[in-house]
A and B are shown apart, each in its own frame.
Chain A
Amino acid sequence: MSADAIDPVFQLGERVKVRAMFSPGHIRTPWYVRGQVGTIERWCGVFGNPEELAYARPGTPRQPLYRVRFALRDLWDDYAGPAHDSIEIEIYQHWLEPVTAKEMS
């Protein structure tokens, strides 16, 4: 970890779970993906934490940002389209956690 940026810990293609946190304030993680499991599609770089920047704080340490892909059928039980339809969302690392073996299955 450099002085003001956190190192990325997740790999391309890794399965990750979005934390089911419901903290107040300016949050860039939409509700509909919280608690959901997806796959790291791309690493975007490190960026100031928007939850800090929104309140005129420095936004450090900067957070790794990923694009995470979810199957739309995983997000919506009654999704009417085909199984391959998907969504990709940018999520900061502090909102992601590893997937347990049970959740993998």
Chain B
Amino acid sequence: MSSYKRFGLTNLRDAGRGKSGPSAYYQTMEIALRELLIEKNIFTADDVRRQIEFMDGRNSGIGARLVARAWIDAGYKARALANGSEAAQEIGIEVGPTKLIVLENTEKIHNLVVCTLCSCYPRMLLGLPPDWYKSQAYRSRAVREPRAVLEEFGTKIPDTVEVRVHDSTADMRYLVLPLRPAGTADFSEAELAKRVTRDSMIGVAIASYAV
């Protein structure tokens, strides 16, 4: 195999993220496996590129659409809380094999999502996870001192409200349904969706009137 192939997609993508230098062990393995599969016509290089483009193209606007719908439609909200995957599909969001659980913030409960074991994240609704979500500090501290973590994100939860942490350890994925901000009673669904940020759907922030 010619050496130019060593600079495959992985390396190009890493270069774009400020990394350089020789490939690590698993990167080399991934390149070798990918090249082999392409040579054996299992898939094409364009298939790989398309999939990466698809994965990189997803963003938190998808999750925001679900939240905004739940805010304006009580029946939809009830269905989303009962079965998140079906509710997502109902509005044309493809959720894949993992099951979605929607967690409703109320005046009594504030939900926070973490994956202590790795970085499980509802990518089909929020896109790629932020770097801090994958950091050891967030993963270890969110279950140990969630209120301190929330305060570092500028989110102060009163002691009268229960903080409920969700450790995404297995086959479920979690999306927080934030409280609807005050003053948005006459907002359209699209205007509401703008108030729903990625962080509010992870639970480290609340949705606010200000955009």
Contacts and interface: CB of A to CB of B under 8 A. Distances in A.
Counting chain B residues whose Cβ lies within 8 A of the other chain, the interface size class is: 20 to 34
Interface in B170-192: 170-172
Contact of A87 (B159, B164, B171): B164
A65 B172 CA distance: 10
A65 B101 CA distance: 14
A42 B101 CA distance: 11
Nearest to A33: B167
A30 B117 contact: yes
Contacts of B169: 28-30, 89-91
Interface stretch (B10-18, B86-94, B127-135, B138-146): B138-146
A81 interface: yes
Nearest to A48: B171
A32 B145 CA distance: 13
Contacts of A81: 145-147, 159, 163
Interface string A28-54: 111010000000001011010010000
29 contacts: A28-B117, A30-B116, A44-B170, A44-B172, A45-B99, A47-B171, A50-B170, A65-B170, A72-B143, A72-B165, A80-B147, A80-B148, A81-B145, A81-B159, A81-B163, A85-B147, A85-B162, A86-B163, A86-B164, A87-B165, A87-B166, A87-B167, A88-B167, A89-B166, A90-B168, A90-B169, A90-B170, A91-B170, A92-B170
Given A79-B145, A87-B167, 12 more contacts: A28-B169, A30-B143, A45-B171, A67-B172, A72-B146, A80-B148, A81-B145, A81-B159, A86-B164, A90-B171, A90-B172, A91-B170
